[in-house]
Amino acid sequence: MELPGDCAWKMDVLEQMLEFFLLGLSFQKAMEPHEGQERNLSLATIPDPYFILPFLAPATLCSLSLQSSSGTCRSSLRCTLFLVPSEFSLLFVTSQIVTGLYLGNIHDSEDHENLLRKGVTHILSVHNRAKPVLEDMTYLCISASDSSSQNLLQHFKECIQFIHECRLGGGGCLVHCLAGVSRSTTVLVAYLMTVTELGWQSCLAATRAVRSYASPNSGFQQQLQEYESTLLHQYRAWIRRDYGRNPFQDQEELQRLLGQQGSRDCSRPRSPDPTLPPPCRAGGTAAGSRWMNR
């Protein structure tokens, strides 16, 4: 069913919510009947995508059901949410991966007080309606959907440059999408690969040691794999030539995280499904970007 244009973003946001349940997170404790509170949320009651994750931040989604039906946008989709005890809210905090580099969601990107407290000066937004919001932040906005056919590889170099120049200048960079799970994780992992000698699986595993539900979709994983086998050597040489030796201890920090990940006996990152179509290349799905202050 094709949604009207003004309702498309609502479907996208609710799909991001559903993504949390596809990650295989363990919420058995939170599902105890006396702990939960059920709320219904229809498309017609969602005024703006920016209101979704802040509403969910005090608690964690534990169950989500989507029901599609014919008719108008008002009745085309319904979302059932279960709010659970507050100790699970830790899943929604901004995650520092290495010094000066943070991974988060759209709520984190608007929490001005928390951004200042963490020393964030630059924000890299990667989602369908990415735009500058806070006046005292420098932005790079990449318009991109969380689809396996979306080409993020074409934006890697611009994103890497933005993050690296921010950190070299003494600032802190937040990379975020809607949920802080797929798109933003993909961009952040590409950067870590470029400034260290680690591959995409190791960088993703280290990221998941901090943010366990970070999980690029299968298409983005294929693009990371393609990046490692094609452009990575060239981009590492470019970074060293134009910016000199990396002054940060990124490799050491990631290796410490990998040690923590191993000690927790966490599952290794999934390999891309070989039956999926090949990843899109430069010149594929276009996505606009801008690097600016609000």
Please list the active-site residues: 177
The Cα 44–Cα 72 span in angstroms is: 10
The Cα 25–Cα 236 span in angstroms is: 34
For 261, the enclosing helix (H) or strand (E) is: helix 250-263
Choose among 115, 155, 107: nearest CA to 138: 115
The Cα 292–Cα 139 span in angstroms is: 5
The Cα 2–Cα 154 span in angstroms is: 28
Choose among 152, 164, 189: nearest CA to 241: 164
The Cα 66–Cα 107 span in angstroms is: 23
The length of the chain is 294
Cα angle 70, 76, 78; round to 5: 135
- For residue 165, which amino acid is it? E
Q: Which SS3 state, helix, strand or coil, does residue 289 take? A: strand
Other Cβ atoms less than 10 A from the Cβ of 77: the count is 22
